Amino acid sequence: MKNLLLHIYDLLSVHRRWLWIGSAVIVAALIALAVSLRYNEDIMDFLPVDDEDREALALYQSQQSASRLVLIVEGDSLRDEAIEACEDLLPDLTTEMDLSEQLAGIYSQMPYFITDSTYAQLDSLTTPDAVRAALERDKRILSTPGASFLAPVIQSDPLGLISLSTFHIPQNSSRTYAFYQSPYGSTETQRNAALVDSLKAVTDEVSVSFPNLSLRWIGAPLIAVGNARRIKLDSALCIALSLVLIVILLAYAFPRRRDLWLILLSITFGWLTGMAVLRLVTPTISAVVLGIGSVLIGIAANYPLHLLVHQRYTTSVRQTLNEVLSPLVVGNITTVGAFLTLIPLQATALKHLGIFASAMLVGTILFCIFVLPHLMSAEPTPVREIKLSSDKLRLNGNKLQRIGQWSVIGITILFGGYLTLSAVSSSASRQYSLFDSNLSHINYMTAEQRADLAYFDSISNPQREISEHAYRAEQWQAYWQTHAADSLIACVQTEAERAGFRQDAFNPFYTILQSWKPVKAFDMRKLTQGLSDNFDYIGLCCSVIVFLFLWLSFRNLWLALIAFVPMALSWVWILAIMQLFGLQFNIVNIILATFIFGQGDDYTIFIVEGLLYEHRTGKPILPQYRQSILLSALIMLIGVGILVLAVHPAMHSLGIVTLIGMSIVLLMAVTVPPLLFRMYIRFSSAH
């Protein structure tokens, strides 16, 4: 394969005009696809739910506390004034948003909203006289100016069997609470943002008339909006800071500014490729996917970095390609394989992230193999040596290299220490839950919001709500087993024709009577168990795929093990350190499992390839490999580790896991393979 790629390089060197024309056409096509991609902010895309789960969730949000907004009104001995303030809010709140589409969705699941009191009088509500009176009432309502939004409601429930109040006021001895039901659930953050702003504006106006009262909102929709806005703010600040630091790092490492543009160009082409391929798969993706996908910059930067750093030690671009192609391609294949493990997951956003990451890295490597060499200068690239310094520690390529030259006793002691600590850590980690399935822990809330929300959550009982869900469904089915739905349909059709309605005016109501089926209850406990299962799946599949690719690439079981063991040890150590400090994976930072494997296999492959090259030729090549690895690791640590400064808990956890994971991966990659390789050579020579 390397000979084929070098032959293509030689061919394109002669026909560069066609290379530039072809590249321009491809880039134009990628841009056209990328700009047509649309974005949403639905956090449910990250949960392992199927279509049935989504239907259950939609129902759960329409009838349970998930879509509830609570207005908390506080004031000393001002009960009547507090109630008056809440009542003043009602006219404005009920006209803030167009509810027709949302109400139609709620009424399509009408059986879940019919109360016991309605069933007690249902026989009398379905008599011909009652049906005639109900349809006359519907006709009057629809003829009222501005009542057109109620048409879907009347089509689904012409007899008025249910009544959904969007606003009601309970009382207790210390506070007054006003409950407002968001028509958008808790996941439609874009629509809820407009709703929350409107509610706050109305509340502020009422507060002017009641200066002695304190009014504030709480609820899942408001929390979701706050999360989305906090993520955007943290992302903007952290990305801006990381870009500045990365540019400074690269500017120091590559004095020639042309090299900076080449790195940026390579990553940009890969990014466009990922966006374009994603657009071919779906028209809409989660905006959070692209935010997390920015982590890929650290991995994608590996490829141009290795080429440019390595050119410092060669006399021609072709020689650079000849010496770097094998580890570049093998590292890309194993990394892409790790990200492909995300595609079979049920969570839509994780599928899309797997597709985007794989396509981006493939696009970057293709650009680096076929285009970048023709843009690189024939002169060696000047690269300054990067050092990690402190008062007591000075770690650079030369000192890392010396670790691999220790005596057999030193190697045995260090490797034995690795294995011992890893075994102890692995055993201890079984007693500790490494995955936090509580989604509230990754929500951004103020201390006051957490206290208010905890109070209202303590009032609701999820298991009772699930039981109520099943009870309503059974109640509906039991009623129509002893009553003739067809007779009621015929009665409504007859009276509707007399009242002047179209023949098909109440088809949604007839459909409910004839073919309604229960939606399975939405159980958050089962969903979180699915998240934990995904966590185990990602770790296992990444390990298997990476090891098989390494074995296939090196065609030697021992060399594959030398490259794989550092990653396995890294993973065990990461889990042990997280356990030591009480850290856990969650729905967001679990994705870093694939990133850590992706980076780790790149690093170890380069080290093993360098060791093989030095063993065969006697020419030192590890210094330039370590130099590019160190640059890549620093970019990754800056690009994602900067998230430790984020206020949002989920983003903050991403930064912490990155700092821990990448530091351990880097240490293992540059120390363990030389030790194992030295042992392998000694053993091979002895036999």
Average pLDDT value for the chain: 76
What is the C-alpha separation between 31 and 52, in angstroms, rounded? 36
Across 368-381, average pLDDT? 82
Cα separations in angstroms, 151 against 156, 160, 320: 9, 13, 71
Cα separations in angstroms, 255 against 247, 250, 258: 12, 8, 9
Q: What stretches of 556-591 show up as alpha helix (H) in DSSP?
A: 557-580
Beta-ladder partners of 167 = 180
Across 581-607, average pLDDT? 76
Residue 293 near residue 357, CB atoms below 8 Å: yes
453: which 2 tokens? 């929300």
575: which 2 tokens? 């889990």
Query: What is the Cα 535 distance to its own chain's centre?
Result: 13
Across 365-388, average pLDDT? 77
Bigger pLDDT: 322 or 394?
Answer: 322
pLDDT class of 27 with cuts at 50, 70, 90: very high
The pLDDT value recorded for residue 193 is: 81
What is the C-alpha separation between 276 and 270, in angstroms, rounded? 10
What is the C-alpha separation between 305 and 595, in angstroms, rounded? 18
Question: Over pLDDT 90: what percentage of the chain?
Answer: 10
Sort 268 into a burial class: Cβ within 10 Å, 0-12 / 13-18 / 19+. middle
pLDDT class of 328 with cuts at 50, 70, 90: confident
Task: Please state whether beta strands 214-219 and 284-286 pair in parallel, antiparallel, or not at all (unpaired).
Answer: unpaired
The pLDDT value recorded for residue 423 is: 57
What is the C-alpha separation between 466 and 522, in angstroms, rounded? 7
What is the C-alpha separation between 258 and 246, in angstroms, rounded? 16
> Does residue 432 come out as left (phi exceeding 0), alpha (psi in the -120 to 50 range) or beta?
beta
Residue 444: what are its φ and ψ, rounded to 5°? -90, 120
Task: Provide the 10 A C-beta neighbour count for residue 630.
Answer: 24
What is the C-alpha separation between 112 and 320, in angstroms, rounded? 68
> Does residue 146 come out as left (phi exceeding 0), alpha (psi in the -120 to 50 range) or beta?
left
The pLDDT value recorded for residue 98 is: 46
Bigger pLDDT: 241 or 61?
Answer: 241
pLDDT class of 406 with cuts at 50, 70, 90: very low
Cα separations in angstroms, 157 against 59, 84, 112, 370: 17, 32, 13, 64
Bigger pLDDT: 302 or 433?
Answer: 302
Across 249-266, average pLDDT? 86
305: which 2 tokens? 């970095």
Residue 40 pLDDT more than 80? Answer: no
What is the C-alpha separation between 350 and 654, in angstroms, rounded? 16
What is the C-alpha separation between 612 and 3, in angstroms, rounded? 19
Q: What stretches of 210-316 show up as alpha helix (H) in DSSP?
A: 220-253, 257-281, 287-293, 296-300, 302-310
The pLDDT value recorded for residue 386 is: 57
SS3 assignment, position 167? strand
255: which 2 tokens? 């004095």
SS3 assignment, position 39? strand
First to last CA, the chain: 32
Among residues 159, 162, 163, 161, which one has the least CA distance to residue 131?
159
Domains of the chain as residue ranges with CATH: 1-36+254-384 (1.20.1640.10), 52-224+465-515 (no CATH), 386-431+523-687 (1.20.1640.10)
Residue 529 pLDDT more than 80? Answer: no
pLDDT class of 2 with cuts at 50, 70, 90: confident
pLDDT digits (tens, 9 = 90+) for 599-649: 778 888 888 888 888 888 888 878 777 877 888 888 878 877 888 888 888
Among residues 158, 126, 134, which one has the least CA distance to residue 488?
126
For residue 288, how many C-alpha atoms fall within 13 Å in the half-sphere facing its CB? Answer: 23
105: which 2 tokens? 């969705």
Residue 310's contacts (CB-CB under 8 Å, 6 or more residues apart) are 320, 323, 324, 624, 625, 628
pTM over 0.85: no
The pLDDT value recorded for residue 171 is: 56
Task: Provide the 10 A C-beta neighbour count for residue 90.
Answer: 16
Residue 338 near residue 35, CB atoms below 8 Å: no
Q: Return the top range by mean pLDDT from 272-281, 576-585, 674-683.
A: 272-281
What is the C-alpha separation between 542 and 595, in angstroms, rounded? 10
CA-based torsion, 402, 403, 405, 406: positive or negative: positive
Q: What letter would DSSP give residue 215?
A: E
The pLDDT value recorded for residue 59 is: 58
Residue 362 pLDDT more than 90? Answer: yes
Overall size of the chain counted in residues: 687
452: which 2 tokens? 């208010």
What is the C-alpha separation between 336 and 598, in angstroms, rounded? 8
Tell me the one-letter amino acid at 324: V
Report the chain's C-alpha Rg in angstroms. Answer: 32
SS3 assignment, position 183? coil
Q: Return the top range by mean pLDDT from 25-34, 554-563, 582-591.
A: 25-34
Identify the weakest region by mean pLDDT among 113-117, 569-573, 595-599, 619-623: 595-599
pLDDT digits (tens, 9 = 90+) for 183-241: 666 666 777 787 788 778 878 877 787 777 778 888 778 888 888 788 778 877 887 88
Beta-ladder partners of 218 = 70
What is the C-alpha separation between 229 and 199, in angstroms, rounded? 17
Among residues 41, 66, 56, 59, which one has the least CA distance to residue 453?
66
Task: Provide the 10 A C-beta neighbour count for residue 286.
Answer: 22
Task: Please state whether beta strands 167-168 and 394-395 pair in parallel, antiparallel, or not at all (unpaired).
Answer: unpaired
Residue 32 pLDDT more than 90? Answer: yes
Residue 260 near residue 254, CB atoms below 8 Å: yes
Sort 276 into a burial class: Cβ within 10 Å, 0-12 / 13-18 / 19+. buried
Cα separations in angstroms, 309 against 7, 381, 382, 608: 23, 7, 8, 18
Residue 392 pLDDT more than 50? Answer: no
Among residues 249, 290, 596, 292, which one has the least CA distance to residue 241?
249
The pLDDT value recorded for residue 403 is: 42
What is the C-alpha separation between 520 and 531, in angstroms, rounded? 19
